[in-house]
Structure 1
Amino acid sequence: MRCAGSQVLEPEWTSVASSHKSLLSIDCSINSALCNEFGIISYPALRYFDGHGYTKSYRGPRRASAAHRPTVTKLDDETTASFQSVDDTVVIAHVNPRDEHITTALRAIASQFEDRASFGLVDTAGTTAVDCYNNRDEQKFTLSDLTAIDAISKLVQSCIAPLIGEFTRANELDYLQSGKSLVFFFETSSDAREAYVNKMRPVAKMYKEYLSFVTVDGDEYADFAAPLGLTADEFPALSVQNPRLGQTFPYPSGADITPETVGAFVMDIVQGKVKPWDGQRRQDKARAHDEL
């Protein structure tokens, strides 16, 4: 598929494929039945086949330089800074030699998450700490209290989670039970959803303690639209839902969806200037602006 993400991946994939004969490319616009069989819903998608019927989604670095990287890369003061940007998610543990158990724990966790993050280890004479860089969303997570047995694992999971994720049936409960309100953006084009994510990151970062911003494939999950006060064939569209209170606030139909307008819409909801959807019909643009 010739979406923007696929075009970015293609030269990296071609570089690795030249020396790895077990790699195969599939055009889902031609082999749609095969892609459907393996649950491909967005592009580009990578799958690992072990030759014994087991299939696994690959969610790790999509750069040729990462193909031969060890599970945990040994770093020093000169290489640590450059390693921070080698992947979308990078974990660097600064470990004092007396905390050898942290090194052991890091290697175990790296084996678990190596398809989604790159791991580095550097010795320090100071206090042991772990930094995680979410480079796609420009976020840094730091952990200095390592007493809990699952502390590093929780750090990595928080760091890996995208600021604006894709809402699907597989993760629906996770989002609905997070305790946060959800800002849904529906669009049929993967390129348009990616563009929305790129421009909406500042707003999502500003409200991340209270709101989860998610995108929804309008073709694959059109049935999600109606319960949110939206019309299935009118995308792009946006709606805010508070699962805890059972309230839904459809964004004005036809209005521009920009960081400024969405941020203002969220603030108007908080201040009570927008009434919850009554379940009857979606707000039209003129009526919504009158209420605002």
Structure 2
Amino acid sequence: MTIDCSTESAVCDEFSVISYPALRYFDGHGYTKPYRGPRRASAITSFLKRAVRPTVTALDEENTTNFQSVDGTVLIARINPRDEHVATAFTAIASQFQDRASFGSVDATGTTTVTCFNNRDEQKFALSDLTAIDALSKLVESCTASLIGEFTRANEMKYLKSGKSLVFFFATSSDEREAYVNKMRPVAKMYKEYLSFVTVDANEYGDFAAPLGLTPGVFPALSVQNPMYGQNFPYTEGAEISPETVGAFVMDIVQGKVKPWDGQSRQERVQTHDEL
């Protein structure tokens, strides 16, 4: 069912729709689950598959391995029956994050552990020390975070306050952005302690480009920003954007071989050069 919020504002208010398009899943038993992921068919399909699963799927040793690959992000808890409090906490965290990941549990005879599989980025996170109150939530947040995320106004401050420099990639086509993510993962993984790689939908957020020293409307384009020092390093317009060239560009910045953008647009730099 579709709802036009411009004419059915009361319905949209009832379900806390503050921007759209927005998606809500109704389970038929009075519960509603909001979708907070990317606006892509594959991501929405994954969300719907999660929505019809139990909050925590009961597993045994025979089907645990298969369950690891049912979703982009999968958490499996191996819980010793004596750690009933962990089972309760795991169910609670699964209820909170079920729209973004799939959760399963299996009885264990040894130490209770929780393992998270980020299948999109081929990363694995394991946790055995569950004494901290926020241990599970931190594990989920770390594991669900994409190596290369999508930069929007909604998450802008999260990235800017991360303490890392940002590598922005602008493209108008979702296929272009997805292809960039797939080929750039090794570089993003190599520098993940220091850099956050993000994509930007140039159709919707093209106004982000100019403050980064890029020519508005000329995409695809890439720029590196150091928020701490307010420095921007626009990548050469029209140059190849590949793992090798971007990796070399990042190293040149670190080594001081590339100077930060001086605030002039490309057209202003050309005019200044002509005048000289």
Check conservation: 2:116, 2:126, Cα contact below 8 A.
Answer: yes
Match in the other structure for 1:184: 168
Check conservation: 1:48, 1:56, Cα contact below 8 A.
Answer: yes
Q: Map of 1:228-243 to 2, 5 A cutoff?
A: 228-243=212-227
- Supply the AA of the counterpart residue of 2:126: T
Match in the other structure for 1:173: 157
SS at match of 1:221: helix
Provide the rounded CA distance (Å) in 2 between the counterparts of 1:283 and 1:271: 27
Count of equivalent residues: 246
Q: Is 2:31 the partner of 1:48?
A: no
Match in the other structure for 1:152: 136
Match in the other structure for 1:78: 62
Provide the rounded CA distance (Å) in 2 between the counterparts of 1:247 and 1:115: 36
Q: Map of 1:1-292 to 2, 5 A cutoff?
A: 38-40=19-21, 47-48=23-24, 56-57=34-35, 59=37, 62-63=45-46, 66=50, 68-282=52-266
Q: Give, in angstroms, the shift of residue 61 of structure 1.
A: 7.1
Query: Once the two structures are superposed, what CA deviation does each residue of 1:238-283 show, in whole Å capped at 9, x if it has no partner?
Result: 0000001111100011100001100110011111111111111349
Query: Once the two structures are superposed, what CA deviation does each residue of 1:2-39 show, in whole Å capped at 9, x if it has no partner?
Result: xxxxxxxxxxxxxxxxxxxxx67x9xxxxxxxxxx952
Q: 1:212 to 1:192 in 2, by over 3 A?
A: same
Provide the rounded CA distance (Å) in 1 between the counterparts of 2:221 and 2:263: 17
Normalised by the size of structure 1, how large is the TM-score? 0.78
Q: 1:97 to 1:61 in 2, by over 3 A?
A: farther
Provide the rounded CA distance (Å) in 1 between the counterparts of 2:83 and 2:236: 55
Q: 1:214 to 1:223 in 2, by over 3 A?
A: same
Check conservation: 2:215, 2:265, Cα contact below 8 A.
Answer: no
CA RMSD of aligned residues (A): 2.5
Provide the rounded CA distance (Å) in 1 between the counterparts of 2:125 and 2:194: 18
Provide the rounded CA distance (Å) in 1 between the counterparts of 2:173 and 2:154: 20
Check conservation: 1:183, 1:211, Cα contact below 8 A.
Answer: yes
Provide the rounded CA distance (Å) in 2 between the counterparts of 1:212 and 1:201: 11
For structure 2, the 5+ residue unaligned runs are 5-17, 38-42, 269-276
Q: Give, in angstroms, the shift of residue 203 of structure 1.
A: 0.6
Provide the rounded CA distance (Å) in 2 between the counterparts of 1:282 and 1:56: 43
Q: Give, in angstroms, the shift of residue 125 of structure 1.
A: 1.5
Q: 1:172 to 1:38 in 2, by over 3 A?
A: closer
Q: 1:66 to 1:111 in 2, by over 3 A?
A: closer
Q: 1:138 to 1:283 in 2, by over 3 A?
A: farther
- Supply the AA of the counterpart residue of 1:215: T
Check conservation: 1:61, 1:87, Cα contact below 8 A.
Answer: no
List structure 1 segments (4+ residues) > 6 angstroms apart after TM superposition: none
Q: Give, in angstroms, the shift of residue 82 of structure 1.
A: 0.7
Provide the rounded CA distance (Å) in 2 between the counterparts of 1:176 and 1:125: 44
Check conservation: 1:181, 1:212, Cα contact below 8 A.
Answer: yes
Q: Give, in angstroms, the shift of residue 210 of structure 1.
A: 0.5
- Supply the AA of the counterpart residue of 1:172: E
Identity of matched residues, %: 71
For structure 1, the 5+ residue unaligned runs are 1-22, 27-36, 41-45, 285-292
**187-196 or 234-243, larger mean C-alpha shift:** 187-196
- Supply the AA of the counterpart residue of 2:24: Y
SS at match of 1:109: helix
Provide the rounded CA distance (Å) in 1 between the counterparts of 2:249 and 2:231: 15
